Amino acid sequence: MKIVTLHNRVKIDELLHHLQMQLNTLFKEQRQADIDFKIEKVGDNTIEISQPEIYPEDVLYKIAVKGAELHITRCEHYVDDVNSLTIESILNDLFKHVAGKDGTDLIQEG
């Protein structure tokens, strides 16, 4: 799991909307691949990113919003997958945007 601090509290619905508006477009630009990922809210504080047609075993990413922290878990089956790595790179950039001028800090990765 990776924990990212945004320096500002984030509302899950705002983060969800931001990811839904940006992730697939940026992915298609970077990978030149016509793949759409499902980005949905699960429960009160979690966002899941999946593509069940290509990755049927599990969701690719789970992002739990805890105040100003994002607890990010990626599926162990796809750690080295190029699409998963591309999504992770895009997410890092999008989190910086959501964090505002103060940016983000990586607290823990493991």
Q: What is the pLDDT at residue 9?
A: 81
Residue 105 confidence (pLDDT) above 60: no
pLDDT in tens, 28-71: 999 999 999 999 999 999 999 999 999 998 899 999 999 888 99
2-109 maps to CATH 3.30.310:
yes
Q: Of the candidates 68, 72, 69, which has an alpha carbon nearest to the alpha carbon of residue 59?
A: 72
Distance CA 81, CA 78 (A): 5
Residue 106 pLDDT more than 70?
no
Every domain of the chain and the residues it spans: 2-109
Q: pLDDT at position 48, please?
A: 97
pLDDT score at 101: 54
Is the pLDDT at 93 greater than 70? The verdict is yes
